[in-house]
Structures are given as structure tokens and as C-alpha cells.
């Protein structure tokens, strides 16, 4: 049984990480070319699930995300996945578009179980920064009230530590 499982794991790993795309279109030459990276495709898929616009129920989303983590285990380029996922997580947190903060935290914890804290440390810091924002805004409002300072406009601040992603790159993409 163990030999069978090992061979299935090996075959699945090869199938997931094979980027070869064959042109089979009518009139196509049958030529092979490299396709998109599986790590990028998976991170984009998970980003779509984690955005507010997703029409699925939370339990359905959680199931799909858990299945995605199962596939993630087979991806060879985990560092590439990490970069894409970090960038997309940052965009979701800054633009306030996660479908559920609990789902975000669940995914981070599942990734941590697979790859360890070092892999997800940046995700945890970004997530914790956003969790602190309401308290910081409340303290700022208290400060304004105590000092009798009034703004003519509303305000809300988010603080997000963005490791290794330059602010110029991020703002041009958000």
C-alpha cells in the first residue's frame, strides 16, 4: 500500500508541476511551450476564493481552500507561491476585500502547518497589523476628542507592514 501511495504522490507531483502546454488548436503545429506556473495559478485561484465578491458560502469556501492546500503540498515552487500569495493578501487587506478574516487566518494557519512559521511569518505580521487598525483608530478618535480637535472630513487609517514589497510597486497595482 505504501509503495502504491508513494508512486501516486510522485505521479501527482509531476502532473501538477509540468508546465508544458501543447498547441492542439485546429491548424496548430502541436508545438510545446511552457505554460503558466502552477504556484501562480493556485495563488490566483485562492485569491479569487478569498475576495468578498465570491458567491459561495463560507463552508463551501473553506472546503475549496482546504483542497487548495492539499494541492499546494505538491507544488515545487513554494517560494514563488509565497510571493504571489503575499502580494494578493496585501491587496485584499489594504482594499478591505477579504470575504472573511476567519478564512484568511485559517488559510495562513494551514500554510503554516505545511511549511512552518518562517514561510508564513510575513502573512501573520500583515494579518495582525490589520487586526490592530480598529483599536488604533479608536485611540486616535479618543485623542481628537480629548484635545477638542475636529476634522472637516471623515478618516480611517490602516497600518500594514509590507515586507519585501516596495510601496511604489504596490500602489501602482492596487
Tens place of pLDDT for every residue, the chain, 174 residues? 689 888 888 888 888 888 775 555 566 555 566 778 899 999 999 999 998 766 778 889 999 999 999 999 999 999 999 999 999 999 999 888 787 889 999 999 999 999 999 999 999 999 888 888 889 889 999 999 999 998 888 878 887 777 654 444 544 444
Which of 105, 72, 110, 78 is CA-nearest to residue 89? 105
Instruction: Answer whether 65's CB lies under 8 Å from 103's CB.
Output: yes
User: Strand, helix or coil at 39?
Assistant: helix
Superfamily of domain 33-168: Cullin Repeats (1.20.1310.10)
Name the residue ranges covered by the structural domains of the chain: 33-168
Angle of helix 58-72 versus helix 101-115 axis, rounded to 10: 20
pLDDT of residue 172: 43
Which residues, in sequence order, are bridge partners of residue 98? 51
Backbone angles phi, psi at 51, to 5 degrees: -80, 155
Cβ contact 94:53 at 8 Å: no
Amino acid at each position: 500500500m505504501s509503495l502504491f501511495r508513494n508512486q501516486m504522490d510522485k505521479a501527482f507531483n509531476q502532473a501538477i508541476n509540468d508546465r508544458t502546454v501543447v498547441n492542439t488548436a485546429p491548424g496548430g503545429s502541436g508545438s510545446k511551450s511552457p505554460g503558466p506556473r502552477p504556484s501562480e495559478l493556485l495563488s490566483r485561484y485562492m485569491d479569487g476564493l478569498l475576495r468578498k465578491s465570491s458567491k459561495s458560502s463560507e463552508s463551501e469556501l473553506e472546503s475549496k481552500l482546504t483542497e487548495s492546500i492539499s494541492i499546494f503540498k505538491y507544488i515545487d515552487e513554494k517560494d514563488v507561491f509565497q510571493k504571489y500569495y503575499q502580494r494578493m493578501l496585501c491587496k485584499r487587506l489594504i482594499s478591505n476585500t477579504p470575504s472573511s478574516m476567519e478564512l484568511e487566518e485559517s488559510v495562513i494557519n494551514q500554510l503554516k502547518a505545511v511549511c512552518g512559521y518562517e514561510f508564513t511569518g510575513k502573512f501573520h505580521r500583515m494579518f495582525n497589523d490589520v487586526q490592530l487598525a480598529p483599536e488604533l483608530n479608536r485611540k486616535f478618535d479618543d485623542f481628537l476628542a480629548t484635545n477638542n480637535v475636529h476634522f472637516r472630513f471623515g478618516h480611517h487609517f490602516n497600518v500594514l507592514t509590507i515586507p519585501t514589497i516596495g510601496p511604489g510597486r504596490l500602489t501602482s497595482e492596487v
